[in-house]
């Protein structure tokens, strides 16, 4: 992927946010490439090495099954029609006591597409969709050394609520697991 984020406004690439529900071959290829390239670049998305295609296809299939069941929202950012980022929210649990909340997960942008505002588009889109289906709060976990992601989440209203020291293992390195949350709706008072 060769994208110049410093291009003048009139020549900037065409960006879009799409909401797939089915596992199409082109989407599978694009997601596999995205995950592999982000992982190879050291991205904080849960993999130490780029996973094989069957693993990314299985992940995508499970995510889209949750989307079809109404338990997730999955957004794909495209640049000139090519997959350049993705992210999702998933309900926190199947039992009724947790169905009002969800977790933002697997938010990533291709290294060549950074600086185009895709991260903000993805998070904003996912927050909006989660709100529209009635979720009252979103949580997320982020590596404590991923300062740019924490700044982005903070700008969009997320607040830190906890930190698990050394909670994420990246090879031999241990990094804090920072927990953040964003109220979306009703959130009845805690004294009731």
pLDDT in tens, 1-59: 555 445 455 577 899 999 999 999 999 999 999 999 999 998 888 888 999 999 999 99
Residue 29 falls inside a structural domain: yes
**Predicted structure pTM score:** 0.87
Cα separation, 184 vs 131, in Å, equals 6
Specify if 169 maps to a domain: no
Please give the mean pLDDT across all residues of the chain.
90
CATH number of the domain encompassing residue 99: 3.40.630.30
Contact between 150 and 142 (Cβ < 8 Å): yes
Residue 124 lies in a domain: yes
Q: Facing residues of 18 across strands?
A: 76
Q: How far is CA 14 from CA 2, 76, 120, in A?
A: 13, 14, 16
pLDDT of residue 85: 97
User: What pLDDT does residue 189 have?
Assistant: 67
For residue 78, list its beta bridge partners: 16, 83
In a domain, 192, yes or no: no
Evaluate whether residue 39 is within a structural domain. Answer: yes
Q: Is residue 129 part of a domain?
A: yes
Please state the domain count of the chain. 1
Please report whether residue 170 resides in a domain: no
Question: What pairing do the DSSP bridges indicate for beta strands 173-183 and 137-143?
Answer: antiparallel
Domain coverage including residue 56: 9-136
Residue 35 forms part of a structural domain: yes
Q: Given a cut of 50, is residue 138 above it in pLDDT?
A: yes
The 10s digit of each residue's pLDDT in 158-181 is: 999 999 999 998 888 899 999 999
Instruction: Kindly give, in sequence order, each residue whose CB lies less than 8 Å from that of residue 188, ignoring residues fewer than 6 positions away.
Output: none
- Tokens at residue 181, please? 């949350």
């Amino acid at each position: 992927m060769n994208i110049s984020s410093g291009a003048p406004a009139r020549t900037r690439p065409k960006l879009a946010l799409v909401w797939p529900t089915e596992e199409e071959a082109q989407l599978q290829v694009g997601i596999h490439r995205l995950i592999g390239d982000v992982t190879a670049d050291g991205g904080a998305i849960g993999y130490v090495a780029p996973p094989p295609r069957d693993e990314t296809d299985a992940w995508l299939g499970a995510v889209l099954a949750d989307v079809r069941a109404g338990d997730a929202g999955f957004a794909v950012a495209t640049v000139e029609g090519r997959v350049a980022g993705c992210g999702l929210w998933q309900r926190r649990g199947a039992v009724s006591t947790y169905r009002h909340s969800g977790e933002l997960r697997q938010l990533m942008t291709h290294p060549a597409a950074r600086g185009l505002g895709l991260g903000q588009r993805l998070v904003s889109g996912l927050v909006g969709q989660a709100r529209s289906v009635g979720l009252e709060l979103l949580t997320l976990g982020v590596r404590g050394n991923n300062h740019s992601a924490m700044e982005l989440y903070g700008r969009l209203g997320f607040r830190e609520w906890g930190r698990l020291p050394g909670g994420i293992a990246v090879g031999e390195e241990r990094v804090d697991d920072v927990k953040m949350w964003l109220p979306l709706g009703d959130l009845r008072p805690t004294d009731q």
